[in-house]
Amino acid sequence: MARRRKDEKKRRRLRVKKGDTVLVISGDDRGRRGTILRTIPKEERVVVQGVNIVKKHQRPIQAGRGQVRAGIIEFEAPIHVSNVMLVCPTCGEATRVGYRFNEEGRKVRYCKLCEADID
């Protein structure tokens, strides 16, 4: 494979952030709403509470200090931002997000449906 420079893809700012409520629009969890627990801007992924739960079988580990018990661990795996839509806190609809400047000159997100500021 030819050598390529490290990831020159423009780093796009995520339109959603931690604490936002989003609607999942594709995949097994389609239609589910949840709160964003974590964002991974580099990969354009987000972790949404209760969405994309994966199970990991953990075998008991007995290492140095501490012991991990055997069992099935469930946790939310990251999903791509394109699979979620922000739910507007004002109108409660899944919406597209725009940016604009408010009266104080601060850049804020707004709901393209009801025009309310989101931040």
Cα–Cα distance between 7 and 93 in angstroms, integer?
Answer: 35
The reply to whether 111 sits near Zn ion by the rule CB under 5 A is: yes
Minimum CB separation of residue 107 from Zn ion in Å reads 18
Minimum CB separation of residue 111 from Zn ion in Å reads 3
Helix (H, G, I), strand (E, B) or coil at 108: strand
Q: How many residues are listed for the chain in this entry?
A: 119
Among 14, 25, 37, 113, binds Zn ion (CB under 5 A): 113
Minimum CB separation of residue 117 from Zn ion in Å reads 10
Q: Report residue 59 CA to chain centroid gap.
A: 29
Residue partners of 15: CB distance under 8 A and separation at least 6:
81, 86, 97, 109
The reply to whether 81 sits near Zn ion by the rule CB under 5 A is: no
Task: Closer to Zn ion by CB, 15 or 44: give it.
Answer: 15
Binding-site ranges for Zn ion (CB under 5 A):
88, 90-91, 111, 113-114
